[in-house]
Amino acid sequence: MEHLFTNIAQILTSWMVSLGLPPIWADLILLIGQWTIIVVIVTLNVIVLVWLERKISGFIQERLGPNRLGPFGAFQTIADAMKLLTKEDIIPSQADRWIFMTAPMLFIVIAVMLYAVLPLGQGMEVVDLNVGLFYFISLGSLSTICLLMAGWGSNNKWSLLGAMRSVAQMISYEIPLAFSLLGVVMLAGSLNLSEIVTAQNRYWFILLQPVAFLTYFIAATAELNRGPFDMPEAEQELTAGAYTEYTGMRWALFFLAEYTNLVAVSALAATLFFGGGQGPWLPSWLWIIIKTYLIMLVFMWMKWTFPRIRMDHLMSFSWKVLIPVSLANILITGLGIEFFRGMGW
C-alpha cells in the first residue's frame, strides 16, 4: 500500500519507455498526468470541504446544516456547483475587462501551483524542488496580486477597499509566516519539503517549535482570509470585498481557490510540524490526508468560534506581536542549535 502510487508511476514510465518513447518524454507525460490528477482531486475535494464547513458551522450553532439532498446533505454542494456553473456571467460595463477576467483564473492557478512541491506521501511530490518551501511561500504571496486585480478591475469602491485591506493584511502576515517557518528550516537544515519530513524522524517539529507553529497557524489564518481574520471579505461590511462584482463561475473560482489554499496551508502545516506522512500502520499518503483534514477542522472550528477582529487590531497584532515573537523564536532556535552543537549532540 505504501508504494502504491509510486509503483503505478514507475510502471507507467517503464511501459511508455518500452513503447519507444524517449525517457524525457515519458517523464513529461507522467508529470502532466500527475498534475491533472492533483487538479481534479483538489477541485473535487472542495466539494467535500464546503459540505464539511457547512455541517460544522451548523453543529456549532446547533443547527443541522445541509440535510436534504443525499445522505446527510452530501449532494448539496454538488447542486450548488451546478448552479454556479450555469449562472450568467456578468461583467460590469465599467469594469477593467481584462484584469477583471484574469484575476480569478490567476488566483486558482496560483492556488493549484502550490501543490507542486507538497509531498503527498513518501516520494509523492510532483517536483522534488530543493527550495520547495521558498517556492511555496513566494507563490503564496502572489495571490495578493490577484485580489488586488479583482478589486481594481471591478471598478467598485467597496471591492477596491476590500482588496486594499487584503493586500495590507496579507503583506503584514506574510512576514511572520515566513519567519515562523525559518525556525523549522534551521532545524532541518533544508528548504526541501521531503527532507524536512525526513528530519522529523525522531520528533515532530511541533514539539521543538511550538511557538513557530502557533505563529504559523495564526499568520496562515490571516493569509487565507479566514475568520477571525476575514476582513477583506467581511460579508457584513464590504459584501465580500474584492469578490462583490463577481458572479457565477468566476466567483466560484475564487471560492475554489480559497479552499484550495486552505488545503495547501494545512498540508504544509502537517508536513512541517506534524511529520508529514510519517505515522504507524497506515501508508504515508493516508497519514498526510488525515493530518491535513484534522488541521483543516481546527481552522473551521476557529472560524466559527471567533468574531472578526478590527482592522487596526489586526495590523497591530501582526507588527507588534507576531513579528517580534517569530523573530525571538528564530533567535532562540539559533542559540539552541549552537548550544546543542557545542554540547556535541
Chain residues binding other proteins by CB under 8 A are 56, 58-64, 301-302, 304-306
Residues 6+ apart with CB under 8 A from 328: none
Question: Measured from the CB of residue 57, what is the shortest distance to other proteins in angstroms?
Answer: 9
Sign, CA torsion 314/316/322/327 = positive
Residues 6+ apart with CB under 8 A from 306: 227, 228
> Do 229 and 309 meet the contact criterion of CB atoms below 8 Å apart?
yes
Question: Measured from the CB of residue 263, what is the shortest distance to other proteins in angstroms?
Answer: 22
* Nearest-angstrom CA–CA distance, 145 and 336: 38
C-beta of 119 vs 176, nearer to other proteins: 176
C-beta of 41 vs 298, nearer to other proteins: 298
Question: Measured from the CB of residue 65, what is the shortest distance to other proteins in angstroms?
Answer: 8
Which single residue is written with the C-alpha cell 456547483?
81
* Nearest-angstrom CA–CA distance, 334 and 234: 39
Question: Measured from the CB of residue 276, what is the shortest distance to other proteins in angstroms?
Answer: 26
* Nearest-angstrom CA–CA distance, 117 and 15: 25
Ramachandran region of residue 256, left (φ > 0), alpha (ψ -120 to 50) or beta? alpha
The alpha-helical segments, DSSP class H, found in the chain are 4-18, 23-60, 76-86, 97-113, 132-154, 157-188, 193-199, 205-208, 210-223, 235-238, 248-273, 284-303, 311-316, 323-343
C-beta of 273 vs 317, nearer to other proteins: 317
C-beta of 227 vs 275, nearer to other proteins: 227
Question: Measured from the CB of residue 46, what is the shortest distance to other proteins in angstroms?
Answer: 22
C-beta of 7 vs 305, nearer to other proteins: 305
Using DSSP, state whether 200 is helix, strand or coil: coil
C-beta of 35 vs 304, nearer to other proteins: 304
C-beta of 217 vs 243, nearer to other proteins: 217
C-beta of 57 vs 278, nearer to other proteins: 57
Question: Measured from the CB of residue 64, what is the shortest distance to other proteins in angstroms?
Answer: 5
* Nearest-angstrom CA–CA distance, 157 and 270: 39
* Nearest-angstrom CA–CA distance, 60 and 205: 31
* Nearest-angstrom CA–CA distance, 15 and 71: 41
Question: Measured from the CB of residue 63, what is the shortest distance to other proteins in angstroms?
Answer: 5
Question: Measured from the CB of residue 60, what is the shortest distance to other proteins in angstroms?
Answer: 5
Question: Measured from the CB of residue 170, what is the shortest distance to other proteins in angstroms?
Answer: 22
Distances (CA, A) of 228 to 210, 224, 256, 301: 21, 11, 20, 11
C-beta of 31 vs 211, nearer to other proteins: 211
Closest CA to 125 of 116, 134, 133: 116
